[in-house]
Every structure is written in C-alpha cells, then in structure tokens.
Structure 1
C-alpha cells in the first residue's frame, strides 16, 4: 500500500486531478481510497454523481462513536473508496480538527486492514500547512507528498510554503516530497516560472496537465473526465500522470501495471 498526500492552493484543481487519478488507477485494477481533507467536503463528489456523502465530523457530531466503518466509507465509481473529513460549523471550531478526527477514526475502525487499498490519496487544502492540515504528512500516514501548482503567483507562493513545511518536517520522519504537478492556466511564461520554482526547492516535475474545457464539461456532468470522456486527450493525460505518480513513489505494480506513456 502506498499513501499519497496531494497539496496545493485552494482552487488549483487538486480534487479534480486526484479524482481522475483515482479512476485511472482503479481502471487498471488497483484498489483506491480517496480521503477528502478539506472542510468543503467536495473531494469525492464526481466519483458518485455529485451526491454528497456523510462526513466523518458529521457522524461524530450526530452519533459520537456509535457508527460503523461503512458509514464513513462510501464506494464510488470503479469501486473507489470515498471518505470526506468534513469541517466544523461555520464560525466555530478548527477546520484542521476534521482531518485529525477522520484519520484517527479510520485507524480506530480498521479501514486499511478491512479494505486493503493499494493506493490511498489524501486531498489536502494547501493554503495552510499547520495543525490538522499537516497531519497527512506525519509518519504513519502519507509516504509521499505531491504539490499541484500553476504558474500563477499565488499558486506558486502557496506551493513554496508547502515545500518549506515538508522540508522543516523532514527530520521528524514525515512524508517526503515526491514532486510537483503543473496544472496549467496558460499564464505568461508558465512553464519557466514553475520550472524555476522546482529548481529552487530541488525537486522534479512529475507531470503536466494542459488546460482543457473538457474538464469543466465533465464536472458539469458531475463526472470525472475518465468517466465522461474516456477517449479524450485529457483522459490520456490523467492516465499518464497516474503512472508517473506511481513511479515517483517507487510503486511496483506487477500484474496491475499501468501502461507506459
């Protein structure tokens, strides 16, 4: 099992990217779990036709500890296991607490032993990397962290903060940086800006996703690109990125090998 945390500025396309990666890997026979670590609780929406699922924090508020693993984990497209941490009542409590609670409850109720996923994705809001938001980086959770950015100033600024946090935590045995994913917004000198950032943090470019209106069309259908437009060029980009992410993690897929790109 490989556990992967994906960070990046809010609105940079983390959930869209991760959901498509989840489908790409599931279609190749891997058992995938996707854990949404954002108070908006919308990470896995396109994996079950836009239907909202119970968040872990909602379950805790309503039932204390009197709920089952099956209440927390909902099966989405292609058998992907979907979990949403949730957040506090607006204006009350700490958003990061939802992440801590969700990850603790998954462990307490034996999620990893029961479902035995090959790949676990943590979809983490990356504007803040402290408290609960840093938990997926901690030892025992993610093995590798990937940062999604565009060439926009604020996206790179957030990515730099995330990279700094990863570097500061490295002596604690936390997850290491696996690389950077460029989700293009077609801004001026975008590739040059992102490559300069990558060089500054001594990392590597894992993959590039081109800007394509087909992504928005799929989301309007409440689906991933791989489900809505499986033969599109964009679907191929997600499939190639999925392979690159696995390779960056040193994952040996054996008979479940994702085709080379």
Structure 2
C-alpha cells in the first residue's frame, strides 16, 4: 500500500510574497529530509525560480501544446536539495482561462502516476489568491489539498484576498473541500501590523501560524536566484522559514474559517484606519509596542 502524501495549498494575492514563502518552506522541508514537490499554479510560471538558480522551466500547458505525448521528465525538474519542481502554466495571452492550467496539470500528473513513482512525502501547491475562481479553487474544491494556508500582510487588499479565500473554503467545506490551516503573516515589521493581523484572525476564527518580517536577506537571496534557506542558511530569516516549515508539515487539524461579509470588512478596515491615525498623531499608543 502506497504511503499517504501530505498535500498543502498556499494562497495569497499577487506580490504578497506567496511564492517566496512557499519556496523557502519547500527548501526547509527538503533539508529536514522530506521528499518535496512544489507545484506552481500561477500562469506566470515563476513559483519555482528560486529553487533553480533563477531559471524558468517548461510548463505543463506549453509542453502539451508542443507534444502529443508528455513524459514526466518533460515537466518535472529537480531544484535545490532535490525538490521536484512543476509549473502548470497558463493559456496563450488573451486566450482561455488561467485557472485551466491547474486542472490540466493535476490531471496529467495523476495519469502519469508520478506522485507514487517519486515516493513523495509532501506536495505544496503555490496558488494565486486574488480570485478564487474555478481553476484556482481546484486544490480546495476537489479536496486535493488537505490543508490550506494563506499568506497575508496587514495591507487591506491582502486581507481582502485572504477573506475571499476564507469564503471559498467555507463554501466547499461541506462537500469534502480542504480546510484552513492558518494564516502566514508576511512583512510584519511594525507593531501595528501585527495588531491588525491578530485582530483579523480573531474575528475570522482562525490563527496566525508564523510572523515573517520583511528582510533584506530575502531580497539578496532572490537577486542571486535562490531561496533564503539556500543562500543564507544561518540567517535569522532562514530560522524563521525553517520554524514555519515545521509548523506547516506538522499541521494535522484544519478548520472552517468565519469570513467577514464585505460590509463588515469595510467597517473593520475603517475602524483600523482611525486607530492608525490616532497612533500616528500620538492620541493613542500601540498595544503591541508595549508602550
């Protein structure tokens, strides 16, 4: 009997640091001895770049357009420390649905039985979270992923995207869909940013599994085409990513979040806008700052 592969989906709005976070989790898990596949689900096909010295790999959709028969070695490439890299890709610009690439790629890899043949321990799907439409919802809707995590900063649009994701998870929760493991708080440097994220997760009945600060170490590593785990393994940032990776892989229970309605979210945001103005003018002090 083949072993059960742990399948995880990490969502987040474009530009929030989702692929950076995912790649560092993959790299950290590989260092812990896990056999990892990172499955890029963004049409830009740049999820796995930092696992492969900044290089792009052929996508599943591009390869299918060029070949009648696709072999595993056509679309699966190894990166840092043996991490297997796959990019779903997308349609030609201006044609078709971007989410379709995820559906096609998942079906192809299942047909090729590569998950079992590679003896994988974990598959991490890196999914664009700006819209939870048909294709992008596949890891949730089809129950492919057991646990879903979302990357968010304290910025409103990142939280708005996270809240939309929570709505998608709740929608499919009664039909075998994946549940929420928690929120990865990214670019948390200011005390008020932590307060905003903490308040949001409390109101939506979820949790923060790790706070990841913005760091120049990450920028330096990515300019070299590498993850922080590879380029600066002894850095404080690498320790944070390693701690996050352990929490992700050790997650055994996920839950249905309680997303806010749009009007509630706007009211919540307005309240925080007033509070930040008061902090800036010195009328109130930040609780997280301890002052």
* TM-score (normalizing by structure 1): 0.93
The aligned residue for residue 150 of structure 1 is 153
Q: Counterparts of 1:43-192 in structure 2 under 5 Å?
A: 43-64=47-68, 66-186=69-189, 189-192=192-195
8 Å Cα contact 1:49/1:223 also seen in 2: yes
Greater radius of gyration (CA): 2
Distance 1:101 1:112 in 2: 16
Shift of 1:79: 0.5
1:19 equivalent to 2:23? Answer yes
Q: Residues 112-146 of structure 1: CA distance to partner in whole angstroms, max 9, x if unpaired?
A: 11112111100000001011000011344100000
Cα distance in 1 between the residues matched to 2:45 and 2:202: 33
Q: Deviations over 1:53-81 (max 9, x none)?
A: 110000111113x1201111101111100
Superposition misfits of 4+ residues, deviation over 6 angstroms: none
Instruction: Show the counterpart of 1:234.
Output: 237
Unaligned runs of 5+ in 1: 251-261
Report how many aligned residue pairs link the two structures: 249
CA-CA distance at 1:184 after TM superposition: 1.8
After superposition, give the CA deviation of every residue in 1:203-222 in whole Å (9 maximum; x if it has no partner): 11111111111101000000
Bigger relative contact order (CA 8 A; separation at least 6): 1
Q: 1:186 offset after TM fit, Å? A: 3.7
Other structure's SS at 1:83 match: strand
Contact 2:148–2:180 at 8 Å: present in 1 too? yes
CA distance in 1, matches of 2:199, 2:166: 14
Q: 1:151 touches 1:187 (CA, 8 Å); kept in 2?
A: no
With normalisation by structure 2, the TM-score equals 0.83
Q: Deviations over 1:8-27 (max 9, x none)?
A: 11111111111111111101
Residue of structure 2 in register with 1:39 after alignment: 43
SS in 2 for 1:129: coil
Aligned to 1:189, what secondary structure does the other structure show?
Answer: helix
Cα shift at 1:187: 5.7
Point out where structure 2 has 5 or more consecutive residues left out of the alignment. 254-291
